[in-house]
Amino acid sequence: MTPILDMAGISVTFPGVKALDKAMLTVLPGEVHGLVGENGAGKSTLIKVLAGVYAPDEGVVSLGDEKHISTLTPNLVHTAGVRFIHQELHLVPHFTVAESVFMGQEISGRFGLDKSTMNARTEDFLRETLNADISPRTLIRDLGTAERKLVQISRALIDGRATLVVFDEPTAPLASDEVDRLFAAIGGLKSKGIAMIYVSHYLREITHISDRVTVLRNGKAVKVFNEVSDQITDPMISAMVGREIAEMFPKKENTSNKKLFEARELSGMGFSQVNFDVAAGEVLGIAGLVGSGREELIDTIYGLLPVTSGSMTLKAEAYNPKRPAKAVKAGVALVPRDRRHDGLVLDQPVIDNINLASLEEVSTVLMEKRGVAKNRAEAMANQLDLRPRNVTMIPRLLSGGNQQKVVLGRWLAKGGDLFILDEPTVGVDVGAKVEIYALIRELAAQGSAVIVSSGDPLELLGLSDRIMVLQRGFLAASHDAKDVNVDSLVALTTGGSSGAIE
């Protein structure tokens, strides 16, 4: 059978990184092809090459009967019948279903818009191709997430010329029971002979709907499974993570047993009835995919999102901050995931950023004590090994790793009982990672409790004393770090079959 898509020997280089290294992907007509890999493995780069967004350094893309070498454009790909269902929905809340489906491709008659035709075609398409019964006159804001996803799919496919559809993490925002509606739609597409590429972190979904699977790691297609069954989950995980746990992590020295923070039956936006605790001197890792409730849980502890039920205690006292300022007052420190937006005043010098949280200590009522502030900041810069070691630099000009060090330095200067680190090493080079890991362990050694939320299983295993796993808003597992390995942790977060602990 001639493949509908054949990408061969694709390499893409970004400044300093080889994102794709002779990667390949072959999709046969009418098949659902799973594409898996860890974060940073090259999945989205490969998809963007297919979309004509990135031109590869080398390699050939055969689309249908034509071979293309670095000549794909978004228009050409669209004309060839390739459609992309992005992770974001990109819908207008107050549009009707039909208006959304025909956005940018409205049908116009002699007397203006032909609304009845658009409504009828939308309804037919949803029912016959996607096996969904949704009124075309419903407003998007009155639909559930799965239904919105179906509207998004309809918009891409309504012209009836699609031959290959790429789904990028389509189920990430969906609840478990909603996933079935999407699968019904995918079944409908398949019965029309449309081929699909299905990118997902949820391995159970991959094995459930894929005909074949390609695994990417470090920019290479390391394995292709031509037969898919539940049995391939473990080999898939092994192929995804490889076996290269580096000696990056500092020694753990957990001594205390004093519970410092406790959450009981805690529910909020995106998670419910979560129980856990952290002791002084302990590092607790939180694992979970995007949409697992991990980010929301962190934001709730820090007072950015409200608690809907349940309780928290900090140092044996009831704790419900409601606002970050109260959290800081209670002794909680957050190192946010998007430090450019949430963590740093990018255009104020490093010295001010380091002293931001402890302003009252370096300022009298009216005046800042510039001298004291400078000494503190310089001492901190030394301790952090900040490069360049110039506290008058503005953070905008620093590298990601050094920016993160400034944020950490601020909280080290302030001190605190509970530290929350959200994706502490995203966008940080390996060298700086090692230094940041050491700093985090030092925080614990000083007697603070630390919560690290991360999507990197290696990081969690290396740093944490214990790891809890969130899945679709629920606490799926909680283990001592020494009882899990990368394979079982990935399995736990993705819902793979080898979730059991050996």
Interface residue list for another protein (CB under 8 A): 86, 88, 90-95, 99, 102-106, 108, 111-113, 139, 141-142, 155
C-beta of 94: minimal distance to another protein in Å?
Answer: 5
C-beta of 100: minimal distance to another protein in Å?
Answer: 8
C-beta of 358: minimal distance to another protein in Å?
Answer: 33
Closer residue to another protein (CB): 256 or 309: 309
Strand order in the sheet with 17-27: 17-27, 5-14, 58-63, 66-68
User: Do residues 349 and 405 touch, judged by C-beta distance below 8 A?
Assistant: no
C-beta of 95: minimal distance to another protein in Å?
Answer: 6
C-beta of 250: minimal distance to another protein in Å?
Answer: 42
C-beta of 295: minimal distance to another protein in Å?
Answer: 18
CA angle 500, 474, 477 (to 5 degrees): 25
C-beta of 108: minimal distance to another protein in Å?
Answer: 5
Closer residue to another protein (CB): 154 or 448: 154
C-beta of 306: minimal distance to another protein in Å?
Answer: 13
Closer residue to another protein (CB): 95 or 474: 95
Closer residue to another protein (CB): 119 or 210: 119
As a whole number of angstroms, the distance between CA 302 and CA 312 comes to 11
Q: Two tokens at 104?
A: 């940018």
Greatest C-alpha distance within the chain: 79
Closer residue to another protein (CB): 5 or 158: 158
C-beta of 78: minimal distance to another protein in Å?
Answer: 9
Closer residue to another protein (CB): 102 or 261: 102
Closer residue to another protein (CB): 158 or 380: 158
Q: Three-state SS for 318?
A: strand
Q: Two tokens at 132?
A: 């969904």
Quick one: 13 exposed, middle or buried, by C-beta within 10 A (0-12, 13-18, 19+)?
A: middle
C-beta of 99: minimal distance to another protein in Å?
Answer: 7
Closer residue to another protein (CB): 145 or 254: 145
Cα–Cα distances (Å) from 157 to 121, 162, 200, in that order, read: 12, 6, 21
Q: Could you tell me which residues come within 8 angstroms of residue 439 by beta carbon, excluding any fewer than 6 positions away? A: 384, 405, 408, 412
Q: Could you tell me which residues come within 8 angstroms of residue 162 by beta carbon, excluding any fewer than 6 positions away? A: 81, 82, 83, 156, 194
C-beta of 171: minimal distance to another protein in Å?
Answer: 20
Give phi and psi for 380, each to the nearest 5. Answer: -65, -40
What percent of the chain is helix, strand and coil (3-state, nearest 5)? 40, 25, 35
Closer residue to another protein (CB): 152 or 300: 152
User: Do residues 56 and 231 touch, judged by C-beta distance below 8 A?
Assistant: no
Closer residue to another protein (CB): 36 or 143: 143
As a whole number of angstroms, the distance between CA 203 and CA 495 comes to 7
Q: Is the dihedral of CA 245, 251, 256, 261 positive or negative?
A: negative
Check residue 251 and report its DSSP letter.
Answer: P
| Region for residue 27 given its phi and psi (left: phi exceeds 0; alpha: psi -120 to 50; beta: otherwise) | beta
Closer residue to another protein (CB): 105 or 446: 105
Closer residue to another protein (CB): 83 or 220: 83
C-beta of 98: minimal distance to another protein in Å?
Answer: 11
As a whole number of angstroms, the distance between CA 373 and CA 388 comes to 18
Q: Could you tell me which residues come within 8 angstroms of residue 274 by beta carbon, excluding any fewer than 6 positions away? A: 263, 265, 266, 267, 293, 297, 310, 470, 474, 475
Q: How big is the chain by its Cα radius of gyration, in Å?
A: 25
C-beta of 111: minimal distance to another protein in Å?
Answer: 8
Closer residue to another protein (CB): 95 or 276: 95
b/e map of 303-318 (b: 16 or more CB within 10 Å)? bbbebeebebbbbeee
As a whole number of angstroms, the distance between CA 11 and CA 394 comes to 36
